DNA sequence: TTACGCAGTAAGCATTTACTTACTTAAGGT
DNA sequence: ACCTTAAGTAAGTAAATGCTTACTGCGTAA
């Protein structure tokens, strides 16, 4: 019986949850299953998190301070809009590729979860993503890089569609999705619409 | 205690399942919950369907003989590709609008369900949809309506993205999504890419 | 009028779930 | 070396799950 601090265990528990989601699906994140992966009993889980939704909430907080912080930085940096769009897209896609559990949480299942507060958090993550990409597009139109006739909201929808479809591809194709290739093709698709 | 035939009860049970999915989410379709909506006890459910997955399978069969049959007809009728694309899209979208439980099943949750056979059926519905839209696009390229430089697969992905995003909008916006408007805007978006 | 098939019920099955409780013991500061 | 703190366990809980069982009684065809 090796003992570890709550801080370490919380990280292990969150990792176990995400691994299970990507390997077995959301329905498999039971206390017992998670505990087994961490190497403790299910009772111990509740020493480190007060409830199961609290684990998921903590994961969403990580997304906010990780991915969203990066995206925020890109959306407002001093590159030109094309460059920002491309980096935004590929940062986003690569994050989803490397954090498949989170991808599933964000884009397929969490929306229909039981936990109300979690759903709100999901909402806010998605809508911030959308407003960041809208900003880049708006900048590009203002700067004359792209035509102004396209509805910004439609273009943002297209962007979200690209993310979701990537998630579906990940799910169906397994490990090996050609990320760089996908990013380039989808960047071109967006430019096709915007130019 | 009113008695009804198995045929009628099966239809009622399927309707109850879809209503529950759209109102409460997939996690709520327990035997007891479904039975309550139908107005019978949970034991009676298993007189009309041999198992819970069998209910979902029967629903997928309905989708195949309903929506998919309509889409197949449109993809091969004698209208021009632009007209077929528009009617294909709006038939598809309107069906999802009017069958929200099925929309959720198809585009968000079922992919991660436990039941293997159901997942296969889902797969086949989605990939037939994709191959039908690919046919329309190919016809339009052959006929000179659209340029041939666009990757057909990318365009089909875009189409699927439009459907999925519609599903997300449905989920977030509640009842009132402007269907006709959405269809027109997304049709234009696709033409923007294809022309 | 009787008898039988089939839709229904109520109760209970084994299992799983999230979570709690009573207790034990490892570990670190003093 | 001791002693407090907190990480851990084992064994429970109540509720929910899918499904089965033993039985009841309606309606139709003989």
Give yes or no for A54 touching B (CB within 8 A). Answer: no
> From A173, which residue of chain B is nearest by alpha-carbon distance?
B123
* Whether A74 and A130 share a structural domain: yes
Q: Which residues of A touch B165 (CB under 8 A)?
A: 157, 160-161, 164
* Whether A91 and A17 share a structural domain: no
Q: How far apart are the first and last CA of chain B?
A: 62
* Whether B22 and B60 share a structural domain: no
**Chain centroid, CA B125 distance in Å:** 8
Residue A191: partners with Cβ closer than 8 Å, 6 or more residues away: A82
| Boundary (domain end) residue, out of B18, B33, B50 | B50
Instruction: Find the CATH number of the domain harbouring B151.
Output: 1.10.357.10
Per the structure, the complete domain to which residue B108 belongs is given by 53-194
Per-residue model confidence as pLDDT tens for chain B (195 residues): 789 999 999 999 999 999 999 998 888 999 999 999 999 999 999 999 999 999 999 999 999 999 999 999 999 999 999 999 999 999 999 999 999 999 988 887 655 667 788 888 888 999 999 999 999 999 999 999 999 998 998 899 889 989 988 888 887 776 678 899 999 999 999 998 898
The alpha carbon torsion through B40, B42, B43, B45 (nearest 10 deg) reads: 80
Looking at CA atoms only, how far is residue A126 from chain B in angstroms? Answer: 11
* Whether A44 and A56 share a structural domain: no
**Residue A109 has what pLDDT?**
62
> From A104, which residue of chain B is nearest by alpha-carbon distance?
B112
| Boundary (domain end) residue, out of A27, A50, A73 | A50
Q: For the beta carbon of residue A51, count every other beta carbon within 10 angstroms.
A: 11
**Residue B122 has what pLDDT?**
87
* Whether A108 and A190 share a structural domain: yes
* Whether A96 and A28 share a structural domain: no
Please give the tally of structural domains in chain B: 2
As ranges, strand C nucleotides with an atom below 7 A of a protein CB are 6-12, 16-22, 25-27
* Whether A42 and A65 share a structural domain: no
* Whether A45 and A56 share a structural domain: no
Answer yes or no: is B25 CB < 7 A from strand D: no
Give yes or no for B148 touching A (CB within 8 A). Answer: no
Q: A128: pLDDT confidence band, cut at 50, 70 and 90? A: very high
* Whether A99 and A184 share a structural domain: yes
Give me the residue label for tokens 């940062």. A91
Q: A112: pLDDT confidence band, cut at 50, 70 and 90? A: low
Instruction: Find the CATH number of the domain harbouring A18.
Output: 1.10.10.60
CA distance linking residue A147 with residue A88, whole number of Å: 20
| Boundary (domain end) residue, out of A26, A50, A74 | A50
* Whether B42 and B62 share a structural domain: no
């Amino acid at each position: 019986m090796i003992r570890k601090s709550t801080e370490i265990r919380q990280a292990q528990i969150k990792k176990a949850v995400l691994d299970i989601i990507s390997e077995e699906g959301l329905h498999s994140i039971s206390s017992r299953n998670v505990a087994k992966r961490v190497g403790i009993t299910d009772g111990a889980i509740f020493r480190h998190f007060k409830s199961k939704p609290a684990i998921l909430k903590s994961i969403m907080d990580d997304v906010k301070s990780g991915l969203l912080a990066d995206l925020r930085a890109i959306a407002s940096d001093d590159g030109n809009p094309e460059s920002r769009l491309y980096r935004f897209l590929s940062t986003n896609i690569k994050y989803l590729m490397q954090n498949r559990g989170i991808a599933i949480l964000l884009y397929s299942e969490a929306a229909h979860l039981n936990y109300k507060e979690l759903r709100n958090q999901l909402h806010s993550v998605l809508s911030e993503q959308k407003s960041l990409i809208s900003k880049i597009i708006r900048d590009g139109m203002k700067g004359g890089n792209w035509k102004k006739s396209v509805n910004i909201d439609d273009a943002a929808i297209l962007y979200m569609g690209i993310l979701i479809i990537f998630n579906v591809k990940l799910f169906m194709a397994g490990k090996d999705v050609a990320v760089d290739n996908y990013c380039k093709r989808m960047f071109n698709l967006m430019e096709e619409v915007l130019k």
